[in-house]
Structure 1
């Protein structure tokens, strides 16, 4: 029995030791750690005392920088007007077909003018009689048979009748609605026999050749866009872009949007485009050949100016730069860098003057920098 008790006690002690080892081993292990780093941080791969910083290089070559402004706009008719009569009356004639072209001066509709025509006939008859009297009086005046005063009375009466006739003719003209310019008439809003007033819209006349394109640009570009400035615009349903030229610029910046309104003209010779359509506008502003351009993330801004780091004989070299044209992803460098320099583009915040550098990636800037500004 004593042997069995000793065996049980031994087993119990062993189990207690194993359990204690499982519980306390993770806490004890760090005490015997070798002190080695778990792994290199970004830009610090394998770097210890005196070890180089790993970064990427960007070889500068001549590029072409284009600054494009993207905007949205609408197509507007060259001229547009809602036509109405200048006087009130019953519509006695409609002489146009909806949706067709009309010429300037063409008669489109007419109001009843019979009372006015009757008045005109009466005045014409009176004028004839007064003209005969004026003729006879002038003959007598030439022979000094009547006084000058008698002749002037007849001449004045003739002038008064002529003035009344001109007034009636003007009122008759008001009963005629004529096209003020060449264009296309829309859908008529009244029928023959209806009574029309000066507020009654009869038809809309639209001139679609040429077309205007209205859009807005940021205020900072107002000095670059001038009359004659070329733009391109895209319309849904047409595979190729259209070209137009700016002809007018608003004299004032919109204080709410800080943009300035611009209008361009498109010939629309074949009248393939309709007013009111949405247009995507593209305007090329600045274009620089053989520019030194760098990615925006490589530029470091400081109180004293702007700088970059370049690779020089295995070390980082700080260079002060003067910038120019800025786009969304690239910046033109006017002074400080030359073609062939290797710009450092990663681990920017860790770079210092004369810091040992190891290039793990080297890129040549061979693409066209053509950015779009919204």
Structure 2
């Protein structure tokens, strides 16, 4: 055979063998669709179920302050006292009058008891016995009145003390000794940290869709560990006309160390209705400089499998495998090995399939 013919034949053989030698060997994984619970995140803040601006029950001058900001108190503890000198004097006078009325009642009862036998024997007119009974009833009524007046003044004396209505922490003191306060003035702020709640505003479209049985994770700013066991306490059925949202309230169990009312945070919770997602091994993901993600898939196109790049949207929750929400349909062969230098449309050789 002439030499030029040999050269042409060798070139043709080299050309026909080129596609086979250029095919890239890869490993693939067959991915399928599955249901993914819907998760949502909201911002909010902790608040105390009991938060009171305490006011004295009487007006007067502050004589004594027992607690200051930061003090932990129990229900019934005395917190602040008003000047009660005039009240003590009034009570002393009322108690003396009540004792005198009691003595007069005892004397009236004695006279009635002595007159009854004499009237029965005809030695005392019946009209005089009636007068003795009337005098005893008047004395009895007067003793009751004086006793009630003393009890009233005793209660007023007790009301010069301001007591704690529940267990909690004093977070603010608004007055000082010697100040005149009205019965409506707030003098101390008391907050209970034993029963907390987390309030967040949720979009009105979520009303009735929050799943109380789904796990709830509460993250408080400045605290590393998430708060577990929070529960949905209420979905207030009233939408804010400006923000088109409703109040979602969570009940927060007691924590150690204690949580601070007023602290901000965020809550992760579940919504009714699952999403369709594709589970993809994380080694298949490719990152782009703009923050986007993609995967390479092996697609059969006549002459054999070729590489195709597909942009995907991932579920924000970190998981392995990753959950693709958009970009895949399910049933694709995703490349998990050998995809680092692929070009779109490059021929492939499937070395292994999971």
Aligned to 1:276: 262
Aligned to 1:134: 105
Aligned to 1:189: 174
Match of 2:57 among 81, 86, 92: 86
Summarize the Cα distance change of 1:93–1:236 in structure 2 as closer, same or farther, 3 Å threshold: same
Measured after TM superposition, the shift of residue 279 of structure 1 is: 1.0
Aligned to 1:215: 200
Summarize the Cα distance change of 1:292–1:198 in structure 2 as closer, same or farther, 3 Å threshold: closer
Summarize the Cα distance change of 1:169–1:190 in structure 2 as closer, same or farther, 3 Å threshold: same
CA contact (8 A) 2:80 2:163 kept: yes
1:178-197 CA-to-partner distances (Å, cap 9, x unmatched) read 11111111242222222222
Measured after TM superposition, the shift of residue 208 of structure 1 is: 1.2
Aligned to 2:239: 253
Aligned to 2:223: 238
Summarize the Cα distance change of 1:228–1:82 in structure 2 as closer, same or farther, 3 Å threshold: farther
Match of 2:87 among 113, 116, 124: 116
Whole-Å separation in 1 of the counterparts to 2:75 and 2:257: 18
What is the DSSP-based 3-state SS (H/G/I as helix, E as strand, rest coil) of the residue aligned with 2:45? strand
Aligned to 1:204: 189
CA contact (8 A) 1:228 1:246 kept: no
Whole-Å separation in 2 of the counterparts to 1:251 and 1:159: 54
Whole-Å separation in 2 of the counterparts to 1:144 and 1:223: 82
Whole-Å separation in 2 of the counterparts to 1:228 and 1:108: 43
Measured after TM superposition, the shift of residue 230 of structure 1 is: 5.1
CA contact (8 A) 2:36 2:276 kept: no
Summarize the Cα distance change of 1:81–1:154 in structure 2 as closer, same or farther, 3 Å threshold: same
Match of 2:74 among 97, 100, 103: 103
Q: Which runs of 5+ in 2 are unaligned?
A: 1-28, 117-128, 280-298, 303-314, 317-323, 334-344, 349-354
Whole-Å separation in 2 of the counterparts to 1:77 and 1:278: 13
Summarize the Cα distance change of 1:223–1:144 in structure 2 as closer, same or farther, 3 Å threshold: farther
More displaced stretch, 221-230 vs 64-73: 221-230
Summarize the Cα distance change of 1:226–1:84 in structure 2 as closer, same or farther, 3 Å threshold: farther
Q: Does 1:166 pair with 2:151? A: yes
1:254-282 CA-to-partner distances (Å, cap 9, x unmatched) read 23322221211212332432111111111
1:23-43 CA-to-partner distances (Å, cap 9, x unmatched) read xxxxxxxxxxxxxxxxxxxxx
What is the DSSP-based 3-state SS (H/G/I as helix, E as strand, rest coil) of the residue aligned with 2:75? coil
Aligned to 2:45: 74
Q: TM-score scaled to structure 2, two decimals?
A: 0.62
Q: Which runs of 5+ in 1 are unaligned?
A: 1-57, 296-310, 315-326, 332-336, 343-357, 362-374
State the number of aligned residues: 254
CA contact (8 A) 2:220 2:226 kept: yes
Q: TM-score scaled to structure 1, two decimals?
A: 0.59
1:113-134 CA-to-partner distances (Å, cap 9, x unmatched) read 1111111111111111211222
Measured after TM superposition, the shift of residue 157 of structure 1 is: 0.9
1:186-234 CA-to-partner distances (Å, cap 9, x unmatched) read 2422222222222433221111122110012222332233778752221
Match of 1:285 among 252, 267, 271: 271
CA contact (8 A) 2:94 2:150 kept: yes
Whole-Å separation in 2 of the counterparts to 1:101 and 1:200: 22
When the two chains are superposed, the root-mean-square deviation of aligned CA atoms in Å is 3.4
